[in-house]
Amino acid sequence: MITEETTVQDIVSVNPELAFIFERFNLYPACIEKNLKEVSSKYDIEPGFLIKILKSFEGTIHVQDEFRDVPIQAIMDFLSRTHDYYLGKKLPEIEQSFYHLYLQYKDTHPLLILLSNFFIAYKKELTKHIQREEEILFPYIQFLIKARCEGFKSNELIEVMKSYSISTFIAEHNDMENDLAEVRKVIVDYSPAYSITPFPYRIFLIQLQLFENDLRKHAQIEDEVLVPKALHLENELLSEAQGRQSLLDNLIIYS
């Protein structure tokens, strides 16, 4: 069981995939010997939030219930940090592995060029997917948070919601992890039998599998935590704005 006293090392030795969480916060491997309480105070992360994130990636909690009381801003910050981690670290690492594979086996495995095209296309799509969230969804949610905290003009809020809303995001949001599973399947089908699969190939496939698992959790937090919270906030603000508008309309009629 993960508590504030558990060290980063203990967590990663039980579940090596959780190193990805610490890497996002630049805590791994630098803080491997520290416990969660120590890393939290040193890096200004709420320890309870870090534990919830670790447990959600472990799959030992129901994310919607566990994050019910966590502010939407904290969820968005974590997802944004994850986007930076994917674009700045994970994708370049995977690309690097593929490049080594390509250099070593391009003559004996001519289909590697085809796989490289698959991977490049996937990377482009994932980058676009992340950019849409960073440049459209997150600023929109930021706008909702600001409206809630600082107040808003009903007509302006309704105008913004006419051009974009959480339902627009839901309609457009696709599963990048399933696309990666497809890419991985193509690569596995193409690979020689496991017993004779060259080592760099296996490393590359493991990297893809781990990244796919991480993406799946990321998407789950987006779909099951961020979106319901944003929808709730949006509905609350919209009904408030509409209530004010109809009050105003009635005042005009009766004046």
CB of 20 to Fe ion, least distance (A): 15
Between 77 and 156, whose beta carbon lies closer to Fe ion?
77
Tell which positions 211-250 bind Fe ion, by CB under 5 A. Answer: 222
CB of 80 to Fe ion, least distance (A): 9
Written as six digits, the tokens of 190 are 């193409």
Please give the Cα distance from 91 to 85 (Å, whole number).
Answer: 9
Selected range binding Fe ion among 3-11, 25-33, 68-76, 127-135, rule: CB under 5 A: 127-135
Amino acid type, 90: K
CB of 217 to Fe ion, least distance (A): 11
CB of 83 to Fe ion, least distance (A): 6
Between 212 and 240, whose beta carbon lies closer to Fe ion?
212
The count of residues interacting with Fe ion (CB under 5 A) is 2
Written as six digits, the tokens of 41 are 């105070």
Do residues 24 and 8 make contact, with C-beta atoms less than 8 angstroms apart? no
Selected range binding Fe ion among 36-44, 66-74, 109-117, 133-141, rule: CB under 5 A: 133-141
Between 101 and 126, whose beta carbon lies closer to Fe ion?
126
Between 112 and 176, whose beta carbon lies closer to Fe ion?
176
Please give the Cα distance from 175 to 35 (Å, whole number).
Answer: 34
Between 36 and 221, whose beta carbon lies closer to Fe ion?
221
Between 184 and 217, whose beta carbon lies closer to Fe ion?
217
Please give the Cα distance from 121 to 24 (Å, whole number).
Answer: 25
Tell which positions 31-60 bind Fe ion, by CB under 5 A. Answer: none
The contact mask relative to Fe ion for 161-200 (x = CB under 5 A, - = no) is ----------------------------------------
Do residues 6 and 35 make contact, with C-beta atoms less than 8 angstroms apart? yes
Between 13 and 73, whose beta carbon lies closer to Fe ion?
73
Q: By the criterion CB under 5 A, which residues form the site for Fe ion?
A: 133, 222
